[in-house]
Amino acid sequence: MSALTTRLRRALPRVTRRRVVAGSVALVLIAALVGWAALPERHSWTAVDQRLTVLSGPSGTEPIDLDTRLYLPSGDGDVPAVLLGHGFGGSKESVSDDAESLADRGYAVLTWTARGFGRSGGEIHLDSPDYEVKDAQRLLDWLATQPRVRTDADGDPRVGVVGGSYGGALALLLAAQDPRVDAIVPLITWNDLGKAFFPQSANGVTAPGVFKKNWAGLFFGSGSGPLGAGGGPSPLTGGAGEAPVAPVANPACGRFAADVCAAYLKMATTGIPDAATTALLQRSSPAPVLNKIKAPTLLIQGAVDTLFPLSEADANAKGIAATGTPVRVAWFTGGHDGGSGPQTDQDRTKFLTAQWLDHYVKKDGATPATSFTYSRVAGFSALDRGLVTNGYSDPTYPGLTGTGRAEVTVSGDAQQIANPPNGNPGALSSLPGVGGQLSSLLGSVAGDLAGQHAEFDSAPVTDAIEVVGAPTVRLRAASPTGSATLFVKLYDVDPNGTATLSGGLIAPVRLTGLPTDVSAAQPVTVTLPAIVRRIDAGHTVRVTVATSDQAFLTPPDPATYTVAVEPAVSLPTAAGTPIANPQVVWRYVLLGVLAVVVAGLVVVLAVRHRRLRRHEAPTVDEYAETPLVVRGLRKAYGDGFVAVERVDFTVERGQVVGLLGPNGAGKTTTLRVLMGLTMPTEGDALVFGHRLEPGSPVLSRVGALVEGPGFLPHLTGLQNLHAYWQATGRPAADARFDEALEIAGLGDSVHRKTKNYSHGMRQRLAIAQAMLGLPELLVLDEPTDGLDPPQIAEMRRVLKRYATDGRAVLVSSHLLAEVEQTCTHAVVVNKGRIVADGPVDDIVGDSPSVQLEVSDVPAAELVLAGLNVRSVTPEGASGLIVDMNGTPRTEVVASLVRAGVGVDRVVPRRRLEDAFLALVGDNSRGSGDR
């Protein structure tokens, strides 16, 4: 139930309420009908699966079976086509959602499973021009023969090519090799495969780059057996695959071609590519053929991507634009580590893709801008991406250098750091497919190891810095061996000392010809990975130089290096123009509907005021400054069911109180009584000394989210907030909309219709609505429902901040770990009675344990048996409770990762759960609240 409905029910007598509800339903129906009429017509389509045999290979005579699916819009006329490629390890099934969306827009969409994957035949050649690219050319030939596919000439289909990662590189290589391609949209893909897997961040240094062993291993593993051949989900695919057509013949190579397999085995062993490997990787790279691409190109790249960072798209953009081909670049807050990104970014990238194809392939849209667009986190930002973003636009693409520069001064003397033998133990900055999320998953465990890194900090910045691009630092290094492999990182450190590594991105550097004395070393400019991040005023910038990283192959021999960073750190900046969410359409129609709704709400408001004048609850003076006092509360129903036997508790100013209990304990019933949604059988609740009754004026000092969010679906989030506030009859200036929207963290999505919101987005909007006007008492029922872990962490901070300046919060939740970290006090209810009431610390006590979620429980138990821990107790299918016995969490997690055990989560053991179970036992009612 929405807070708006809640307040209306409080305010109106039953008969009047029925009339208002009927009127509200009519208004909603009007809004729905107007919105439905305004929507564009949806195309229907049919899909046909078939195996196509095409002639491919270097000679063009090798037959290869490809598993394909053609989506055709309904109707009789001809339509333009899209060739849609999947990610590495995926199949035609991986891109089915995107294919259906494009078919809905009137395109014939051909998807296929690339050779070497799934049910297609052949071997994997890594987007070779002689194999995968030639396969795609034959698919273009076949498209040109289909009666419904529009052609520009015999054998020349009107076609765009879209693909992500593996499919994105294919789009680039195909456009360079075949002039029939009319437009391309490559996403999160590479420019130079050699540089991607052997990055070298030091400018002007000819030493080979540092081998990205974890990603290379996952890449190779995704094609080396039945699972990788399409049998399961992978961070490389963007979706699950399917079973292979036949078992692999060579277990060492799987379905890889022999030359690709040999190249991987050699570079994984030595860490340095030989001439043959370099040539093979160059063959599969768009870099050498960008000047042949004449198809207008939209490049979409993710900022949370430790595999193919933003620099890959930058190189592609410059190479294509140099020949005069139209190019547009869009950065979003997803990638191989960040997935498809927040909903707002998904909407934006889909809109840009459709706009690009409509103009250059369908030929019926306005010319798209070639401006640069990017986005950054807004609101909930624990993963450097969150679920919502703000988008910005610059007239021209500035590359990685930004449109301006901010110079930050760091300080620190030269420092000695040790390279561990064989990189063990190694720092943990990223894991394939996790990348920027690692700090959220592992907390303080992730990061740099003592003795193996040097830190150089700035003073707190006085003004916020909008970093958009690749920062640079100047580094000097000395080594007794004459060489060093180093990893340079840029941290954003908040005033509490929490350091955040954007996207898990680091700059690997291999230096040779080094002196033994750092004072004699020549400074080297290091270009760090490009990021999009706001460094807020009061934060500090930290440059860290480390010797090891588990994502890369490092020198096997131990050594001690000396490193120094020059004071000036250069941060590229941008002041892009905010862009509206492209999904906001029919704005004026919606505003007209809003006017109708507001007019109805004005009538409701008048009725509410008349009722309020007739009912004034008496005041209990001794509780006039206490946010909430519950006295002898009992709620029984006519059928004899007793939902609440007796409940007494108090919420004081400055407190965050958690209301806990098993299902059926009476939590929700208690909250419904507190909000005036139902009347108690006995007892009462006092808010600032006023007894709560429907329509009580003191409810204006209370914000609530009870029974879930609900909004008018054809209004935007912002319009819903304004309509709600107007219904309260309070001045608009008192609403504090900016603060509420900051809490919601919805960014541009606040301008989208709420019918398109995900559950989590509706939940955040409902919380912001409850906080409008910053009420003195906030009552929330399951506020984290529908939120992901980083959003829950942000909500924890929001509630703690909210209970300052004399405000108070009452929160009901079944997430005991969150209550333990969020609440100052807890009230535990069981069978309708209070069984515990007091400070959380008093109820919980201390705990020496942590909870681990691991990929292999037996293997983890063997590793932990060799450490100085007191006990290891399995919990669930993948959980372990470990009594640390004083062993640092860093040591535990590093030992597990070194042994090949994946660590998905590590958190302190939530002992509130133990206390809760001890209090309520197994005697919960087993049914939901009434």
pLDDT band at 618; cut points 50, 70, 90: low
For residue 382, the Cα-to-chain-centroid distance in whole angstroms is: 9
Average pLDDT over residues 124-137: 96
Q: Please list the residues that pair with 186 across neighbouring strands.
A: 163
pLDDT for 360: 96
pLDDT band at 453; cut points 50, 70, 90: very high
Residue of higher predicted confidence among 131 and 4: 131
Task: Answer whether 681's CB lies under 8 Å from 634's CB.
Answer: yes
Q: Which of 240-254, 663-677, 799-813, 847-861 has the lowest mean pLDDT?
A: 240-254
Report d(CA 699, CA 711) in Å as an integer. 20
For residue 680, the Cα-to-chain-centroid distance in whole angstroms is: 43
Q: Which residues have C-beta within 8 Å of that of residue 480, sequence separation ≥ 6?
A: 516, 559, 560
pTM for this model (two decimals)? 0.62
pLDDT tens-digit map of 299-357:
999 999 999 999 999 999 999 999 999 999 999 988 888 777 777 778 888 889 999 99
Q: Which of 301, 348, 332 is nearest to 751 (CA)?
A: 348
pLDDT tens-digit map of 588-608:
333 344 444 444 444 444 444
pLDDT band at 405; cut points 50, 70, 90: very high
Report d(CA 533, CA 720) in Å as an integer. 30
**Which amino acid belongs to residue 476?**
R
Where do the DSSP E strands lie in 530-567? 531-535, 540-546, 559-565
Residue of higher predicted confidence among 44 and 248: 44
pLDDT for 409: 96
Q: Among all chains, which residue has been given the structure tokens 């943990």? A: 428
Average pLDDT over residues 868-889: 79
Q: Which of 195, 198, 235 is nearest to 218 (CA)?
A: 235
Sign for the pseudo-dihedral over CA of 303, 306, 310, 313: negative
Kindly list the structural domains of the chain, giving each domain's residue range(s) and its CATH number in brackets, ordered by start.
3-33+584-843 (3.40.50.300), 46-295 (3.40.50), 848-908 (3.30.70.100)
